[in-house]
Chains A and B, each alone.
Chain A
Amino acid sequence: MRNPSSLASREPAARRSFTLQRRQIQTLLFQLRAFVALIILVIIFSILSPDFLTLNDLTIVAEHVSINALLAIGQSFVILTAGIDLSVGSIVGLTAMVAGYLISQGLPLPMFGVVVYFNVWVVILISLLVGIVLGLINGLVITRLSVAPFIATLGMLYAARGLALLTSNGATFPDLGGDPSLGNTGFPFLGTGNILGVPMPIWLMILFGVVASFVASRTPFGRQVYAIGGNERAARLSGIRVNRVKLLVYVISGFCAAMTGLVIASQLQAAQPATGESYELNAIAAVVLGGTSLFGGRGTILGSIIGAFVIGVLSDGLVLIGVSEFWQMVIKGAVIVLAVVIDQLQQRWQKRAALA
């Protein structure tokens, strides 16, 4: 059917095309904002410290960044649904301890009087499963028992840390190189090995980043995550299984945290119960720096990874140019708040333009 009003629509459309182009450029800049900040930081640090831009140093920075990036990727999905996962740091600690325990102590089976030592692959699998299960518990408490995400994951933050301490009574599992006679060597490769000269953690970050970006931007699940964050009721009325999507989001976050725990334990070749303490805050900061709204529905995975880079470059760079640790914290805090302020200004501006 030809609608008279569809004819009328052409005129304002033409009038708006100019604005549209400008808005598209602005949106692009908005998405690249963290990236621009990153480049500026790199330039500043390389001027202040000639060592900074050497390839060797950049690789070290990237390695540090990869840990935050992995956590931030999982956290992004949660925050996009307008949730929050405070438990990731503790899940990092617990999975590191589980991996450490299984490699150094093995799994004792008293009824058979034996201790089973698993192959490294199985250890990794079990550790990841631990992360998945904890994420699942988070998700179930939030969706089935209607507990606010902040509270549910705060509870998990304490509980998982407690479990991590319980695995060793607070001690460290050192020397996770494995024993050739037990057939469980090779664990350090995950954190310290490299393929084609690129360290494994960076490969993992790239792999997780690509898969997560694809899931977020190109699959129905990703679209549903954004919709729930934007308007949960509308999403529900559109037939989206809101609870199922939310559950999955916390599982993804738990899985990413478990991967991070494995990488850290492998890098250190030791598992400490305090591993990953307060990492949840780094992850949230990275996500927010990357332009994701804590109210949900807006943001990208790539943004979160860039956000992780900004935090990583900032802390490593400040160390390199000799800024004291205490001042580092002050600067980091200011940068995070500044990022959100810019975000808010940008949004206000966009909204004003959109309401024209």
Chain B
Amino acid sequence: MSAADREMAPDIVLRAEGITKIYGGTVALDNVDFTVYRGKVNVLIGENGAGKSTLMKIIAGAETATRGRLLLEGQPVHFKSPREAARAGIGMIYQELNLFPNLSVAENIFLDHEAMRRRGFLVDRRRQQEAARRLLERLEQPIDPQALVGNLRLGQQQIVEIAKALARDVRILIMDEPTSALTTAEVEILFRVIRELKEQGVSIIYISHKLEELLRIGDYVTILRDSHRVAEAPVSAIDVNWIVEQMIGRSVSETYIHQERTPGQELLRVEHLSLPRPGGGLLLDDVSFQVRAGEIVALYGLLGAGRSELLECLMGLHPEASGALWVAGQPVRGRTVGERIAEGLVLVPEDRQREGLVPTLSVAHNMVLASLRRYLSGLALSRKKELTAVRRLISDLGIKAPSPQTLIEALSGGNQQKVVVARGLLTEPRVLLLDEPTRGIDIGAKADLFRLMNRLASEGLGVLFVSSELREVMSVADRILVLARGRLTGEFRREEASEEALVAAASAGQGPVSEKEETGEWSTGGTLQTGTADSSQIATPAASASKERCDQPRPQA
């Protein structure tokens, strides 16, 4: 694209006009207009259920509109399948990653358009891997193209998904919450890639719940609410408060809630918890801490620091872990998850789809799953007792569900998360463990969740939550624990926490804090999974990380 063209902005590449989508009796989109400007980041915002995903699916060819039309470069188009949309240069990165865990990174990236040997039916593996390596280098990720995707961390999988979209020549790239699983450093890399793509004339449609992020990367903002388009504006003309008001009609300060409480007795005590890493070394190294009644404790750290593993150890999911645990002064003896639940611990897992929800069950049945014994009358489950409990939690947590019998899959992400939290609460825990509870949920649901955490703490629960969002950690928690490479490297009271101190502690043991060092953490995750085959003599993750760093050519930012 020439400089002269660029000056002729705003240049529209795609327009959706009067899009209406009706599913059964439900109106998912009501006469929505949406404009995609060429070479810009077009941000789409709205609470879950506002219709964002439906609109994107229509643009990407996964759904067809009931009414309305799409104009690509001024010409009406009708995509009957994602394949047709892809042929027209529209690519989409779904929030729920569409990767095959049983295939390698390179195979995933080139799935469906494999590099072929000339005139052959055979996939040219070497060429494919070479191309994949180049793509990943462009994304500055030392991910082995031959590694199995299932062995990668979520954040790394996200990068693979982006590489997959880049491998096809796209002119419009839809990104549905691309940063929800990324650390700060990875987000920077992604943004750099996005700016690069813009330079090349690629138009981005960007969906995210992280408002600051949108203001940084976005050019135009379109806001959906309740199936309607409520506003469109250039980013230069607006601020966070405006967005929030348009979205939900309330202000930001109501999202990150913190109430003052005086902590009570000690509810959870962890001493000398260590977890061996398969293949040598330690995933968790002599971790000790406590959580008191009425206290919200955040566990901050980079991806791969061992945060999820720590919570899993508390639930008895790693029998190979050593150390001692007390709940409310009582030593924890149970080995199975069920016994740990009975002793007052419960976990809301990080990956809702894979570990939280049972998609085949209803909202009610999902909710009571961990506390079935409480609804027994004689040998049978009492429907009345179940429904009473379910109804109470639905209204307590403000879960938006048509009925308790609705299939869980029909709910929005935020509401699904609330159901998983409700399942935990029905076990009447002493300590609630939450692993990235706000991942992929909208700001309204976030506010609800934080409000709930505060209320539970006031009621005398101990709350321990894992998060990689600094803002969330600093504004919601009473106390912050920082984990780096399996060690506790910092503990801050709310008043004494600062962004710099937290980031420094999270990167402890990795030399001076810099972006490079943080991305180095990546390779730790990678080495952990891809095994010791190629680096068998290397014992410590730090050493292997630096080795991989040396191997990777790293362009300057």
List which A255-306 residues lie within 8 A (CB) of chain B. Answer: 293, 296-298
Interchain CB contact (< 8 A) of B337 among A19, A219, A236, A354? A236
At the interface, yes or no: B462 with Cβ under 8 Å from chain A?
A: no
**Set of chain A residues within 8 Å of B399, measured between Cβ atoms:** 9
- 8 A-B pairs within 8 Å (CB atoms) are namely A18-B25, A218-B380, A230-B360, A230-B361, A234-B357, A238-B369, A353-B24, A355-B23
At the interface, yes or no: A233 with Cβ under 8 Å from chain B?
A: yes
Contact A239-B370, Cβ < 8 Å, known A6-B395, A226-B360: yes
Question: Which residue of A is nearest B374, CB measured?
Answer: A220
List which B403-455 residues lie within 8 A (CB) of chain A. Answer: 403, 406-407, 409-410, 423, 427, 444, 448, 451, 455
* B381 engages A237 (CB within 8 Å): no
At the interface, yes or no: A144 with Cβ under 8 Å from chain B?
A: no
* B28 engages A356 (CB within 8 Å): yes
Question: Which residue of A is nearest B418, CB measured?
Answer: A5
List which B220-243 residues lie within 8 A (CB) of chain A. Answer: 226
Q: How many residues of B contact A (CB 8 A)?
A: 58
Interchain CB contact (< 8 A) of B356 among A8, A234, A351? A234
Mark contacts of A4-37 with chain B using CB atoms, 8 A cut-off: 1 yes-contact digit, 0 otherwise.
1110110011011111101100000000000000
Q: What 7 A-B pairs are tightest by C-beta distance, nearest first?
A: A356-B23, A297-B360, A3-B398, A239-B338, A230-B360, A230-B358, A238-B370
At the interface, yes or no: B538 with Cβ under 8 Å from chain A?
A: no
List which B15-49 residues lie within 8 A (CB) of chain A. Answer: 23-28, 49
* A237 engages B26 (CB within 8 Å): no
At the interface, yes or no: A334 with Cβ under 8 Å from chain B?
A: no
Interchain CB contact (< 8 A) of A223 among B28, B341, B356, B365? B365
CB distance from A247 to the nearest CB of B (A): 14
At the interface, yes or no: A348 with Cβ under 8 Å from chain B?
A: no
Interface majority SS on B: helix, strand, loop or mixed? mixed
Question: Which residue of B is nearest A7, CB measured?
Answer: B398
At the interface, yes or no: A214 with Cβ under 8 Å from chain B?
A: yes
CB distance from A126 to the nearest CB of B (A): 28
**Set of chain A residues within 8 Å of B338, measured between Cβ atoms:** 239-241
| Given A5-B444, A298-B360, A354-B410, 14 further pairs, Cβ under 8 A | A9-B399, A20-B402, A220-B373, A223-B365, A223-B368, A226-B361, A227-B361, A227-B365, A236-B337, A237-B317, A240-B338, A293-B360, A297-B361, A355-B23
Question: Which residue of B is nearest A228, CB measured?
Answer: B358
Contact A233-B400, Cβ < 8 Å, known A22-B24, A241-B338, A356-B24: no
Contact A13-B23, Cβ < 8 Å, known A219-B381, A234-B358, A354-B407: no
List which B116-162 residues lie within 8 A (CB) of chain A. Answer: none
CB distance from A236 to the nearest CB of B (A): 6
What's the Cα separation between A300 and B396 when bound, in Å? 32
* B358 engages A356 (CB within 8 Å): no
At the interface, yes or no: A62 with Cβ under 8 Å from chain B?
A: no
List which B350-370 residues lie within 8 A (CB) of chain A. Answer: 354-361, 365, 368-370
At the interface, yes or no: B70 with Cβ under 8 Å from chain A?
A: no
Mark contacts of B312-344 with chain A using CB atoms, 8 A cut-off: 1 yes-contact digit, 0 otherwise.
000101000000000000000000111111100
* A229 engages B24 (CB within 8 Å): no
* A9 engages B410 (CB within 8 Å): no
CB distance from B217 to the nearest CB of A (A): 28
* B372 engages A224 (CB within 8 Å): yes
Question: Which residue of B is nearest A3, CB measured?
Answer: B398
**Set of chain A residues within 8 Å of B397, measured between Cβ atoms:** 3
* B360 engages A9 (CB within 8 Å): no
**Set of chain B residues within 8 Å of A297, measured between Cβ atoms:** 358-361
**Set of chain B residues within 8 Å of A239, measured between Cβ atoms:** 336-342, 370, 427
At the interface, yes or no: A235 with Cβ under 8 Å from chain B?
A: yes
**Set of chain B residues within 8 Å of A233, measured between Cβ atoms:** 354-355
At the interface, yes or no: B376 with Cβ under 8 Å from chain A?
A: yes
At the interface, yes or no: B525 with Cβ under 8 Å from chain A?
A: no
* B448 engages A235 (CB within 8 Å): no
**Set of chain B residues within 8 Å of A18, measured between Cβ atoms:** 24-25
Question: Which residue of A is nearest B424, CB measured?
Answer: A238
At the interface, yes or no: B541 with Cβ under 8 Å from chain A?
A: no
At the interface, yes or no: B349 with Cβ under 8 Å from chain A?
A: yes
Interchain CB contact (< 8 A) of B372 among A223, A230, A231, A352? A223
* B400 engages A235 (CB within 8 Å): no
* A15 engages B349 (CB within 8 Å): no
* B402 engages A13 (CB within 8 Å): yes
Q: Using a CB–CB distance below 8 Å, which chain B residues touch chain A?
A: 23-28, 49, 54, 226, 250, 315, 317, 336-342, 347, 349, 354-361, 365, 368-370, 372-373, 376, 379-381, 395-403, 406-407, 409-410, 423, 427, 444, 448, 451, 455
Interchain CB contact (< 8 A) of B448 among A3, A214, A219, A226? A3
* B372 engages A234 (CB within 8 Å): no
What's the Cα separation between A136 and B17 when bound, in Å? 62
* A8 engages B400 (CB within 8 Å): yes
Interface majority SS on A: helix, strand, loop or mixed? helix
**Set of chain A residues within 8 Å of B373, measured between Cβ atoms:** 220
Interchain CB contact (< 8 A) of A227 among B358, B379, B402, B448? B358
**Set of chain B residues within 8 Å of A6, measured between Cβ atoms:** 395, 398
Interchain CB contact (< 8 A) of B355 among A3, A237, A293, A351? A237
* B23 engages A234 (CB within 8 Å): no
Question: Which residue of B is nearest A296, CB measured?
Answer: B360
* A16 engages B369 (CB within 8 Å): no
What's the Cα separation between A241 and B349 when bound, in Å? 18
CB distance from B340 to the nearest CB of A (A): 8
* A1 engages B361 (CB within 8 Å): no
Contact A220-B372, Cβ < 8 Å, known A230-B359, A237-B347, A356-B23: yes
CB distance from B297 to the nearest CB of A (A): 21
Question: Which residue of A is nearest B395, CB measured?
Answer: A6
Contact A223-B369, Cβ < 8 Å, known A9-B400, A233-B354: yes
Question: Which residue of B is nearest A23, CB measured?
Answer: B24
What's the Cα separation between A238 and B336 when bound, in Å? 11
What's the Cα separation between A299 and B399 when bound, in Å? 27
* B336 engages A241 (CB within 8 Å): yes
What's the Cα separation between A71 and B24 when bound, in Å? 39
CB distance from A344 to the nearest CB of B (A): 15
CB distance from B23 to the nearest CB of A (A): 3
* B455 engages A1 (CB within 8 Å): yes
Contact A220-B25, Cβ < 8 Å, known A20-B402, A227-B361, A238-B423: no
**Set of chain A residues within 8 Å of B315, measured between Cβ atoms:** 237
What's the Cα separation between A351 and B360 when bound, in Å? 11
* A17 engages B372 (CB within 8 Å): no
**Set of chain B residues within 8 Å of A298, measured between Cβ atoms:** 360
**Set of chain B residues within 8 Å of A351, measured between Cβ atoms:** 409
List which A19-65 residues lie within 8 A (CB) of chain B. Answer: 19-20, 22-23
CB distance from A336 to the nearest CB of B (A): 22
* B23 engages A353 (CB within 8 Å): yes
**Set of chain A residues within 8 Å of B400, measured between Cβ atoms:** 5, 8-9, 12-13
CB distance from A245 to the nearest CB of B (A): 11
What's the Cα separation between A219 and B406 when bound, in Å? 20
CB distance from A194 to the nearest CB of B (A): 30
Question: Which residue of B is nearest A353, CB measured?
Answer: B24
